[in-house]
Amino acid sequence: MKAIVYTEFGSADVLQLKEVGKPAPKDNEVLIRVHATPVSYGDLLARNFKNVSSSEFNMPLPLLPLSRMQFGFSKPKVNILGSEFAGEIEATGKDVRLYKAGDQVFGYLGPRMGAYAAYLCMPEDGLLSIKPASMSYVEAAAVPYGAIIAASLLRKGNIRKGHKVLINGASGGIGSAAVQLARYYGAEVTGVCSTPKLEYVKSLGAEHVIDYTREDFTQNGESYDLIFDILGRSSFSRCKNSLKQNGIYLLASFKMKALFQMLWTKIAGSKKVICALANENADDLFFIHELIEAGKYKSIIDKCFPLEQAAEAHRYVESGQKKGNVVLTLDHYHET
Ligand SMILES: NC(=O)c1ccc[n+]([C@@H]2O[C@H](COP(=O)([O-])OP(=O)(O)OC[C@H]3O[C@@H](n4cnc5c(N)ncnc54)[C@H](OP(=O)(O)O)[C@@H]3O)[C@@H](O)[C@H]2O)c1
């Protein structure tokens, strides 16, 4: 089968179209014919993991060697990128009960990746769901990562109806999902992003937008129940005055200092720091499926590239221009 393979870490040039063996499903697995898979933050990170410096690594440094064990030290351990996808079930293992051949599905593979390929296998009880009928394969493929992570983290931020919520990094994979979910929960949402993305973030439902290249949100006199920083570009000391009493400073990316602040604010003060790792579970994917079918969650596509042009798609994402999702499509998609 056709796949985009990389055997060296480096620039987008390392992505090569190759013929590789077609996987066969185990007894509890489904074989999925992939129609579409987006280019996400994780794909760019994994592709060049050897060259990620400690300052570029957005997590506590002790986790860096663990991540290197996962992605490889000098050579990539995972050779096919792509952590989310939409496609059609072609075959099922003998113990599979939840799905059948012909089902249209979407799902999330996480760091094991493998979706930049014509076929993939995954357990039926993995992060997999029937694709919303109201979405195309391309739209659905770009949903799982951001939505699953944002849903889990917003719960850890104790989001409530009527809360004033600020999302720093609102135009990215997690942020664009967080804006939509926070609105669904009944929060008043402010999205922070760069100038060209302001309209995009508004179109996701944010009531207010702040351009971080022109305005420092910690200096505008507003205060929030929840400040959710996706990349951890702000700091608790700067954000503290922008939090209401009992406000939460929630970080999806954090260093050791923020972990100590989390411990400290647990015992002292009314404003809390929460450094959170998402609990990825299929229930959130089923929940998002329902929101999509109810017209309460959308997937905005910036550009599609055929799988063969994966390197070009990576360069486009790295240019920082994308407003919405960039998705790779496979031949099967064009056949439907
Ligand atoms: N905690 C967890 O469980 C978990 C799980 C997965 C990932 N993560 C973390 O999440 C991060 C990736 O998130 P993502 O996939 O949403 O990334 P992404 O799609 O690359 O988006 C990053 C966003 O950050 C914005 N940004 C860049 N510089 C900024 C600044 N100075 N101020 C405010 N916003 C800025 C960008 O906005 P513009 O384009 O407008 O500049 C972009 O929209 C990584 O650090 C990863 O480690 C955490």
pLDDT in tens, 86-135: 999 999 999 999 999 999 999 999 999 999 999 999 999 999 999 999 99
The protein residue whose alpha carbon is closest to atom 6 in ligand 1 is 149
What gap in Å lies between CA 174 and CA 157, rounded to an integer?
14
Ligand 1 centre to CA of 122 (Å) is: 27
- Indicate the DSSP class of residue 59: S
Output the six-digit token pair for 61: 């440094």
Residue 335 pLDDT grade (very low, low, confident, very high; cuts 50, 70, 90): low
Is the pLDDT score of 38 beyond 80? Answer: yes
Output the six-digit token pair for 25: 């499903």
Ligand 1 centre to CA of 217 (Å) is: 17
Residue 54 confidence (pLDDT): 87
> Ligand 1, from 113, 174, 192: best to mutate by most atoms within 8 Å of Cβ?
174
What gap in Å lies between CA 225 and CA 249, rounded to an integer?
9
Instruction: Tell me how long the chain is.
Output: 336
Whether residue 175 has its Cβ less than 6 Å from ligand 1: yes
55 vs 310, more confident = 310
- At 56, give phi and psi (nearest 5°): -80, -20
> Ligand 1, from 66, 230, 249: best to mutate by most atoms within 8 Å of Cβ?
230
What gap in Å lies between CA 31 and CA 107, rounded to an integer?
13
Residue 155 pLDDT grade (very low, low, confident, very high; cuts 50, 70, 90): very high
For CA atoms 12, 277, 189, 229, the dihedral sign is negative
| 231 Cα nearest atom in ligand 1 | 45
What gap in Å lies between CA 309 and CA 240, rounded to an integer?
45
What type of residue sits at position 182?
A
Taking a C-beta distance cutoff of 8 angstroms, is the pair 300, 326 a contact? no
Residue 331 confidence (pLDDT): 85
3-state secondary structure of 248: strand
Whether residue 253 has its Cβ less than 6 Å from ligand 1: yes
Residue 333 confidence (pLDDT): 67
What gap in Å lies between CA 180 and CA 193, rounded to an integer?
15
Whether residue 218 has its Cβ less than 6 Å from ligand 1: no
Residue 289 pLDDT grade (very low, low, confident, very high; cuts 50, 70, 90): very high
Residue 336 confidence (pLDDT): 58
Ligand 1 centre to CA of 22 (Å) is: 34
Percent of the chain at pLDDT > 90 equals 96
Residue 55 confidence (pLDDT): 86
Whether residue 126 has its Cβ less than 6 Å from ligand 1: no
